[in-house]
Chains A and B, each alone.
Chain A
Amino acid sequence: MGVTEAQIIDRLLAFIADEGASDDAFNAMALELFAYQFENNQPYRRFCQQRERTVRTVRDWRDIPAVPISAFKELTLSCCAPEDAARVFMTSGTTRDGVRGKSFHPTLDVYDASMIANFRQRVMPDRERIRMGILFPGEDVMPNSSLAHYLALALREFGTDDSHYLVDEDGLDTMRVVVELAHAEQTGEPYALLGASYSFVQLMDALKGMDEVGFLPPGSRIMDTGGFKGQSRDMALDDFYRQLSSTFGVERRHCINMYGMTELSTQFYDSGNEVCPSVKSGPHWIRTRVVNPLTNEELPRGEKGVLAHCDLAHFNVVSTILTEDAGVATEDGFLLLGRADGAAAQGCSMAVEEFLKAAGG
């Protein structure tokens, strides 16, 4: 009999709090978590066994079998009984067959600890709280959205009392945004705009028709996440950050992009977007490898591959996932280079994504 859920949670909370954790400590924690997941998550155990990996053969976190994110749709990946989950986060279901991938959380304690420690370091290193505007629906509206929970947490932990949601049932509340921007400009109080990338595009489009929009004062920041796909017009990243900066008066180095996934409990950030694509990195409890998706072999630094993440905070599901995101490893993180899901076929033959879209699936 291995460790209990309560024990693994305690160990992880301690690990997250230990900023000086060594590579060896990461490896040891990752292997302990793998053993826990191998024992308690039956579909994952079978997945590992099909790949001839067991607790005995896996001696390095890099050997932990990475679960392709598509498996989150097919398999019920959970160490606890799924019905005992306090929260279930689901993918948006905008891709492929419309089936939504699920992540079960028996408690959000680890998720929250991960988010708070990381957010403090990457988005709020200079102050305790800031007045916030959230360009995304609240948790009550989207209880299965990990992003809704993330933003609610940001507001609760780091927002001042007069922070607001700027999206209501009817969508983006542009007038409210204008009032907030004007207030910030008048008072000089730093302001943080946080939300989905596509909401920023919609907001900028809506503000175009208006003549006087307030500039945010020094110390303000912007954080976007999630990309544009299907939700707004597509924009080149460089154009997006140029326009963000010129619309709101926030320098590009204070326009931060967060890269997160429903299939993780930890986020990645860049240090602003003066240069696109920016280097993304995460805290000490998550590691990323760039691999060949067909062989799972790690690629040399500088070579383009697919990102595989090992997130110790995602304790109840699986720590290690294979994404469909393309990227390149750099010295201090990785560059995110779009999707690698074969959606753009080279020839005149149909690709899966286009077919599903065309066939109305």
Chain B
Amino acid sequence: MTGVTEYAGYLPGLSADDVEWRTLEFERGNRRLEVAVPVLSVDQLDELAARVREASRAYLKTLTVSRIIEIIDTAVARLLDRDDPYRRKAEELLPLVTGYDREMVRLGLTEYLKTFRRAELAKFVAEDFANPAMLDDFQPVPKGGFAKAIGPDLLIHIWAGNVPGLPLWSLISGLLVKAGAIGKVPSAEPLFAGWFAALLAEIDPRLADCLAVVWWQGGDEARESAVLQQADLVLAYGGNDSLASIRARTPITTRCLAYGHKISFGLVSRDALDTGKAWGVAHRAAYDVIRYDQQGCYSPHAFFVERGGKVSPREFSKYVANELACFERKFPRRTLSIEEAGGVAAWRHDEEMKASSASGRDIMGDAAGTWSTVYTEEVEDLAPSGLNRTIKIIGVDDLSDTIPHIAPYKAYLQTVGVAASPETLFRLSEKLAAAGVTRICALGNMTAPEAGWHHDGRFNLLDLVTLTEIEQSAERAADAFARYAD
């Protein structure tokens, strides 16, 4: 399939001939894909912003939330249908673009898309709005008076990363609050968001101008600034350096919600380490490691494992190693760039050096370097792994001993996968919450947050809106001016 070109982006009001295209090349083994990404001029970006803003005011804002949910549900149903052309394209091209195993992408897409069906979307809205009708009309509020939640006319998304479909979170969040949006796709996965926008426009043609999906080289000052100047609200994802520059280019009167890179980990209590259960726990722990090769903010970098169970932490690390080896046969790791392979090698070299100068440390891995585990007897601070199926297993006497070793990184903590009894779960959760952890889930579920989760502990929808309140005084004063007033 050499020579195939797929066009990325979604550009209402612009024909392909009006736009300059740049080619991104993706090569996996003997398969090659060219993705043409649009490079709009600053003028074109300005016009696009004006068009989206206008359509957002004129049409999107007139839809009810339930109608928007219906439209998204229809789109998601099509993406869940394996015979749908968009779904077929996603299954065909996303493994090529991201390098992830086909089967992992297929399963991952289904699992992920399922969290955006009608019922889940309704829950999603209800999570943030006790009375979702306030997105449609002024509604009475408990303190008295009325309030309506207003979404931005133009929401700018700046996405990052190569986890397939990730932009859907913020794109759908924006739609649910009736925000017109321009999304900037990352070079690492430039396709999915554009397809979704085109699909929505197919389902409801009047939505066609309410969304746009563009691309520019990360850090392109002129284009980024031009778009940010137009924004009512900015949602940005990425590393701290790029977020800092995005924030600096956003006008002070515009809110910029920045989602930075995060670090996650797992806790395995002695309750979960009896001989019958430990294999299953190790299997689930390894699953969290192999899913998207630890590229997600929710992916684990370390497992703290408690001593005192039937299976020791050291034995548990061997179980995990074994599971990683099995997964490598079922869902092989994607081919790494040399930069990524260098990252894995650097991490392994560091660990080898530590192991050669200290006792109580083991390193396991296969000859091709597709996975590695490090076991350490002595508790140490949480730190990033080398990514791409490299994991550290740290033995601890008591799981609460881990708290001082995660607390220094409060601003960067996100998910903790836990295998423990109910008592231990709740006892630990108190401490984890205080340390800054925002999501606690079962091991094996770390990479699949449930519908309506609060990303990094924030309110996905509530953070996007402003409230307009009619105070009681206005209501009372209005009475005096009624036609029927005495």
Of B28-36, B102-110, B336-344, the segment with at least 4 beta carbons within 8 Å of chain A is: B336-344
A295 interface contact, C-beta 8 A: yes
In the complex, how many angstroms separate the beta carbon of A261 from the nearest chain B beta carbon? 15
Smallest CB gap from B351: residue in A: A70
Contact A324 B262 (CB under 8 A): no
Measured CA separation A357–B239 after assembly (Å):
11
What are the nearest 6 A-B pairs in CB distance? A342-B343, A347-B295, A340-B342, A294-B369, A293-B345, A68-B349
Q: Is the CB of A348 within 8 A of B161?
A: yes
Flag the segment in B14-22, B60-68, B136-144, B352-360 that touches A: B352-360
Contact with A along B210-246 (1 / 0, CB 8 A): 0000000000000000000000000001111000000
Q: With the chains together, A36 CA to B139 CA distance in Å?
A: 84
**A147 in contact (CB, < 8 A):** no
Tell which of B172-180, B309-317, B382-390, B416-424 binds the partner: B382-390
A294 near B345: Cβ-Cβ < 8 Å: yes
* Proximity bits, A67-82, B CB within 8 Å = 1, else 0: 0101101110000000
B343 lies within 8 A of A341 (CB) = yes
**How many angstroms between the C-alpha atoms of A71 and B354 in the bound complex?**
9
**Chain B residues near A293 (CB-CB < 8 A):** 338, 341-342, 344-346
In whole angstroms, how far apart are the Cα atoms of A331 and B378 in the complex?
49
Question: What are the interface flags for B355-367 relative to A under an 8 Å C-beta threshold, 1 for contact and 0 otherwise?
Answer: 0110000000001
Known contacts A349-B297, A354-B240, A70 near B344 by CB under 8 Å: no
Q: Which residues of B contact A74 (CB under 8 A)?
A: 350, 353-354, 357
Residues of B within 8 A of A338 (CB): 339
Q: List 17 A-B contacts (CB under 8 A).
A: A47-B356, A68-B346, A75-B357, A293-B342, A293-B344, A306-B341, A306-B345, A341-B339, A341-B343, A342-B342, A345-B239, A347-B296, A348-B166, A348-B238, A348-B297, A351-B384, A354-B239
Q: Which of B188, B295, B339, B341 contacts A294 (CB 8 A)?
A: B341
Q: Verify B297–A359 contact, CB threshold 8 A.
A: no
Minimum CB–CB distance from A302 to chain B (whole Å) comes to 13
- Say yes or no: is B182 at the interface (Cβ < 8 Å to chain A): no
Partner of B387 from A46, A295, A340, A351 at Cβ < 8 Å: A351
- As a 0/1 sequence over residues 293 to 307 of chain A, the CB contacts with chain B under 8 angstroms (1 = contact) are 111000000001110
> Is B160's CB within 8 Å of the partner chain A?
yes
Minimum Cβ distance to chain B for residue A143 (Å): 27
Q: Tell me, in angstroms, the Cα distance from A75 to B344 when the chains sit together.
A: 20
Asked if A206 is at the interface (CB within 8 A of a chain B CB), the reply is no
Q: Per-residue CB proximity of A56-98 to B under 8 Å, as 1/0?
A: 0000000000001011011100000000000000000000000
- Known contacts: A293-B345, A294-B344. The answer to whether A355 contacts B163 by CB under 8 A is no
B250 at interface, CB cutoff 8 A:
no
Interface residues of B in 462-478 (CB under 8 A from A): none
Selected contact of B346 from candidates A50, A292, A342, A345, CB within 8 Å: A342
Interface size of A by CB at 8 A reads 39
Chain B interface size, under 10 / 10 to 19 / 20 to 34 / 35 or more: 35 or more
Q: A295 and B369 in contact (CB under 8 A), knowing A340-B341, A348-B237? A: yes
Please measure, in the bound complex, the distance between the C-alpha atom of A58 and the C-alpha atom of B159, giving whole angstroms.
50
Chain B residues near A292 (CB, 8 Å)?
Answer: 341
Chain B window 372-402, contacts with chain A (Cβ cutoff 8 Å), 1 for yes, 0 for no: 0000000000011011000000000000000
Residues of B near A341 (CB, < 8 A) are 339, 342-343, 346
| Interfacial chain B residues near A50, Cβ < 8 Å | 352, 356
Q: Is B146 an interface residue (CB 8 A)?
A: no
Given contacts A341-B346, A348-B163, A348-B166, contact A70 B412 (CB under 8 A): no
Q: Are A350 and B343 in contact (CB under 8 A)?
A: no
Q: Quick one: which of A74, A293, A351, A358 has the most chain B CB within 10 A?
A: A293
- The reply on A326 being an interface residue by CB < 8 A is yes
Q: Is the CB of A342 within 8 A of B386?
A: yes
Bound-state Cα–Cα, A237 to B240, Å: 24
Which of A295, A339, A345, A349 has most chain B Cβ within 10 Å? A349
Q: How far is the CB of A20 from chain B (nearest CB, A)?
A: 35
